[in-house]
Structure 1
Amino acid sequence: MLEDEEIKNLLHKAQAGDQIAKEYILENNINLVRSVVHRFTNRGYEWDDLFQLGCIGLVKAIERFDTKFSVKFSTYAVPMIIGEIRRFIRDDNPVKVSRPVKELAYKVHRTQERLQGLLGRDPTITEIAKELSLAPQEVVAALEAIQTPTSLYANVFHDDGDPILLLDQMKYCEEEDSAYFEKLALKEIVLRLPEKERLVIHLRFFADKTQAEVAQIIGLSQVQISRIEKQALKLMKEFMQTS
């Protein structure tokens, strides 16, 4: 890493258009990008793609850093690198997920990695939930919410003949096919619900919980759960009518 005074001089030159100075700063701070990218692994994106995004964030930090700041360049650069990667992940996801759910999912990932180091194995959902003082269903819901959707027409196998699509691996009898896609459409409607309503519907109709059990899991009264459920069903009906 460069000394503070040296990097300030280089930043002045880089911001004045000196390409050699900019590249020198990039080369000497590239480990910042690597350390940030490591936090975003196992989220469905190629490491090289995230690395390039991190480098864009580092370049922006070089261009925008004010040498009058009373902080080190590296302290300023890290949030810029993180922001560039997070912005891409947020905008790239075709399913829009609320910020609180995303933040919870990132917290679950960090806890998962920490427990993995402590336990020497992959932690269970129950262990992660206990560590975060959450219900296991909330952990599962948060992780599922940020999964990258897979197309039904994704190629899962190809030899000298015709390719086999994911859709081909999900065939049942004609009646079951129809029922399956109806369920798939229903789940897409559920994903459009606000966070609290979506969780209640998930627990009530996908996890087969009673209103009393849902109330205990979420920490609300059964009357409140009943109201949330009614509101959620009303919204779902409106979504289906406008689809």
Structure 2
Amino acid sequence: MLMKIWNRLIELWSRWRSKGTYYIGGSESLPHPMNREEEAKTIDAFMNGSLSARDTLIERNLRLVVYIARRFENTGTHIEDLISIGSIGLIKAIETFNTEKKIKLATYASRCIENEILMHLRKTSRLKSEVSFDEPLNSDADGNELLLSDILGTDEHIIAEDVEKKIERQFMFSAIDLLEKREKYIMECRFGLNGQEEMTQKEVADMLGISQSYISRLEKKIIHDLREELNQPTA
């Protein structure tokens, strides 16, 4: 299913790139965002199984991808790559959006898009050491430098304190990708990773229909396995 969405997204990008409207602006620019009423109706249609509504939500939020991607232009990664990576985050945001969380789609999607780009930058920096959390990415309207650490947010919103004391947070994101699907989802929910809202052990347990004690044991095992993985010497 995601592959079909991705192919559709590539088709859209190709169409606008051929018109010279890859960046926002101009009479033939990317689709305008929906107003609140239109977005609410489209989200409701998607929640009721409409695939065309899902595609519409993706298409009408492409400007958000470009806007966020351009904030990372000074990291050494080509803008087209940043937009492609950010688009994956947008797709994930649309697919996992939960109206019961009482959060705006744009807010949730922004977090997912940023996280997707940041994970790519972390993986890149691990190999090339080109990206620093204190490296200026761009400047705001007042001329203040925008740092990678500013976009990343506070530490407590990314990973549990006891884990963060012993391993670097950028490696944590890479290691989580190595987990089994269920374990990865639990960690994302527990620590608010990859666009998921941070949840307590009880909330995760209730959502998955399992005991809190099981979540606790599994969490300890996952953290232990991650530590072991991160302590392995690199080739």
The reply to whether TM is greater than 0.5 is no
* Larger helix fraction of residues: 1
Please give the range of the TM-score, normalised by the shorter of the 2 chains.
0.3 to 0.5
| TM-score, length-scaled by structure 2 | 0.42
